[in-house]
Amino acid sequence: MLKLVVTLSDEFNDDTQEFVTKTMDIELEHSLASLSKWEEIWELPLLSTNDKTEEQNFSYLECMCVTPNVAPEVFRKLSGEQQEEIAAYLEKQHTATWFSKENPSPKSGETITAELIYYWMSSFHIEWEAQYWNLNKLLTLIKVFSVKQDNKPRRQSARSRQADIVRLNAQRKAELGSNG
């Protein structure tokens, strides 16, 4: 979670002869829940490589905000330094897990949307609470499941095992000249 103190106004108080700064504390979380809200509004995949408009970027900040009752204009008051801090926060992995270059994940070219990530969560039996985790951490967990699953020996299906048994029995009957 990223916590920011946004300066809303700097005013000079003539009575006290002091500058008065009004601020607001906000908390942002880059999560699947935030991504899902944004995609519901814009009906576009957030994680695509397509450029987003300024309005869409500010909209994502609103979707990321877990602080209740924050007016949209508060996000317009973010300083350049705070915007850089948000960008760095979005890029961080938020996990100690890493993947070697020898075993890169395959790039399927599939467009990643909130529903696809929810599907992956369901497929890997990941608790729904994880939709509120940092998105990069959740995607890393999904990748871990995928890598571990790909490294497991594949179990033979029941139908395939049955076919092998029938084939083996027929072979033995032929070798022994038996009817069963």
Whether 34 has a pLDDT exceeding 50, the answer reads: yes
Contact 93, 136 (CB under 8 A): yes
The whole-chain average pLDDT of the chain stands at 87
**Residue 60 sits in which domain range?**
1-180
Among 27-31, 70-74, 108-112, 139-143, which stretch is predicted with the lowest mean pLDDT?
108-112
Q: What's the DSSP call for residue 50?
A: S
Whether 156 has a pLDDT exceeding 90, the answer reads: no
Among 36-40, 93-97, 128-132, 151-155, which stretch is predicted with the lowest mean pLDDT?
151-155
* Structural domain total, the chain: 1
Query: What does the alpha-carbon distance between residue 73 and residue 85 come to, in Å, rounded to a whole number?
Result: 19
Query: What does the alpha-carbon distance between residue 115 and residue 103 come to, in Å, rounded to a whole number?
Result: 26
The amino acid sitting at 69 is N
pLDDT at residue 104 in the model: 45
Q: DSSP H helical segments within the chain, as ranges?
A: 32-42, 54-64, 80-91, 114-123, 135-151, 158-176
> Quick one: average pLDDT of 9-38?
90
pLDDT at residue 33 in the model: 96
